[in-house]
Amino acid sequence: MRYVCASVAGSILFGLWLHGSDPAAAAVQAPSASYDVLIQNGRIIDGTGNPAVRADVGVRGNRIVAIGNLAAATAVRTVDARGLVITPGFIDIHSHADDGDENAGLRHSDPLRRAAPNLVTQGITTVVVNPDGDSPWPIKEQRERYVKDRIGPNAIQLAGHNTIRRMALGRDPRRPATGAEIERMKTLVAQAMAEGAFGLSAGLEYEPGRWSTTDELVSLVEEAARHGGFYIAHERSAGEPMWYYPSQDGPHAPTFLDSVRENIEIAERTGARVVITHIKARGGRYWGASALVIAAVERARARGLDVWADQYPYNTTGSDGQIVLIPEWALNDPAGGGTPNYAAVLERQLADPGKAAKIRGDITFEIVRRGEAANIRVFEHPDPSYIGKTIAELAKSRGMTAVDLAIELQMKGFTTRRGGARLRGFSLSETDMEAFASRPWVATSSDAGVALPADGPATHPRFYGTFPRKLRRYAIERGTQSVEEAVRSATSLPARILNLCDRGLLQPGYRADLAILDLDRVADRATFTDPHQFADGVPYVLVNGVFVVDKGKPTHKLPGEALSRPAGACRADR
């Protein structure tokens, strides 16, 4: 028998049943059945984590209607997938595809941006927007723009905690909220949920979220959950918080472990589904923390708490690309006014011995937090001989310490640029990344938005390469997980977290969000010096039955929908 998987055989019958009211009649008609799109001769990886099997896929309109042996079928468009695999389209649970003002990303006036070519060419068919606590307001208008102007991938909206907190607390949000303000925030959460949000996002390392208490979050997450929503949080800290300097903020700041414990507490107190987003242990002092965090999350899950995570497959973060090794407080010009000359500002500060000691201490701290001197690299500097070298290499060749080198970068680099150079730290350990990636409760996400080449060389390669990289580097080359599990982490797992009832699996009746991959070639091509390069090995991608990638090229079509929350829980047997 050609098809061995029982569930696929079941799907064939179900698929044929969809063609007409009489299953027997449909089965008889099957050989001559016609489809809008027919994908033949490939293998399917259905998103469950089950092994690949040979099967053809038939699409009619925006749905998958048949999976099985469709050799005799005809179609408006037939794709020969010999040597290729067909997977559900990837669902990106942490996306910056619609950040910023009204003319950004998926709401941009330029349809080329709304088509999100750098995302769909990775196989992404659905993005979850408004992460890290920031959403436009009201989100109803964002949704109306999607419907009116059309978008490439499907979009799922979140309500942003920071946005809501700013509205409720007004001018001075650097404090705990009052009872009345928490009530006001609950009203705003309820409004966003009514307008189509799938849940609440938080950005607790940023202002004003960093001033919120766990009690405040519990109240708001309870409110979101009451309307069927989940909670997804950028942690207070992935090691030490980005805002923290030992010389300014005392000995204590929330750690990565504190942040994970807070999420578990919120899950416990609310019963809500909680996602630890872009999970990572940042900086040399936290490498290895994945073991403790995994143990804590798995103990929580074992006692029934609804805790999950997502992760991007790069060992460098978004903020790692904007490193300023000189502490921010030391570069705030006391004289003020005019175009700042940061070299002059720093020189004045260092003339004060007390301040100089604090600055040097904070630089030492920042170097470790950003991955240590051997893992921080120079990307832009007036002296071309610096480019591509690490802080450790430059310091060694000059016979100075890494701290002195950081000071020299400001003194002899671009004087109007904080820090004097463009640096990137590689602040995450691959050991931690693989430990997280191997867990069945960790989804793959990009933490990236829409990009075009005009956006310049500082774009993180994850904007173009996330999902192909996960498959190439982690599944195929390093064996962190199987290809089928890596596909699951990008399809049925995020669909399960989001409670999507008809996306994330290859099944008849599901929406035709599909990626067709060449596993021999699939790979990210975007690099830190040349980021605007589409991934390899993703020849076809369909969103709602429409080709958004065809023969490896983006079509710039706009078939994406603003998705709505299903009324009840979907099947939980994934």
Could you give the count of Cα atoms lying within 13 Å of 118 in the half-sphere of its Cβ? 28
What are the structure tokens assigned to 211, written together? 């001033």
Closer Cβ to Zn ion, 181 or 262, answer by number: 262
Instruction: Identify whether the C-beta of residue 531 lies closer than 8 Å to the C-beta of residue 464.
Output: yes
Closest CB to Zn ion among residues 67, 155: 155
Which spans of this chain sit near Zn ion (rule: CB under 5 A)? Answer: 132, 234
How many Cα atoms occupy the beta-carbon half-sphere of 546 within 13 Å? 18
201 vs 492, beta carbon nearer Zn ion: 201
Give the shortest CB-278-to-Zn ion separation in angstroms. Answer: 5
Q: How far is the CB of 26 from Zn ion (least distance, A)?
A: 48
DSSP 123-189: TEEEEEES-TT---SSHHHHHHHHHHH-BSSEEEE-EEHHHHHHHHHTT--SSPPPHHHHHHHHHHH
Q: Shortest approach of Zn ion to residue 293 CB, angstroms?
A: 17
Write down the least CB distance from residue 206 to Zn ion, Å. Answer: 8
In the complex, minimum distance from the CB of residue 446 to Zn ion, in angstroms, rounded to a whole number: 11
Q: What angle do CA 288, 294, 300 make, to 5 degrees?
A: 150
The least distance separating Zn ion from the CB of residue 205, rounded to whole angstroms, comes to 8
CB of 514 to Zn ion, least distance (A): 29
Minimum CB distance to Zn ion, residue 89 (Å): 23
Nearer to Zn ion, 233 or 305 (CB): 233
Kindly tell me which of 134 and 484 has the beta carbon lying closer to Zn ion: 134
DSSP count for the chain of H helices, then E strands: 20, 22
Show Cβ contacts of residue 109 under 8 Å, excluding neighbours closer than 6 positions: 103
d(CA 505, CA 501) in angstroms, rounded, equals: 9
Nearer to Zn ion among residue 26 and residue 275 (C-beta): 275
The full 3-state SS of 297-349, as one line of letters, equals: HHHHHHCCCCEEEEECCCCCCCHHHHCCCCCHHHHCCCCCCCCCCHHHHHHHH
Are the C-beta atoms of 162 and 206 separated by less than 8 Å?
yes
> What distance lies between CA 527 and its chain's CA centroid?
18
- In which region does residue 404 sit, left (phi positive, over 0), alpha (psi from -120 to 50) or beta (all else)? alpha
Give one word for 170, left, alpha or beta, with left for phi > 0 and alpha for psi -120 to 50: left
Report whether the peptide linkage leading into residue 138 is cis, meaning its omega lies within 30 degrees of zero.
yes
Least Cβ distance, residue 96 to Zn ion (angstroms): 9
Report the C-alpha gap between 431 and 336 in whole angstroms. Answer: 45
Minimum CB distance to Zn ion smaller for 235 or for 372? 235
Q: Which residue has the tokens 């009840």?
A: 568
Between 186 and 234, CB nearer to Zn ion: 234
Between residues 156 and 409, which has the closer beta carbon with respect to Zn ion? 156
Name the residue whose CB lies closest to Zn ion: 234
Which residue's CB is nearer to Zn ion, number 256 or number 534? Answer: 256
Q: How far apart are CA 80 and CA 196, in angstroms?
A: 38
Nearest distance, CB of residue 234 and Zn ion, angstroms: 4
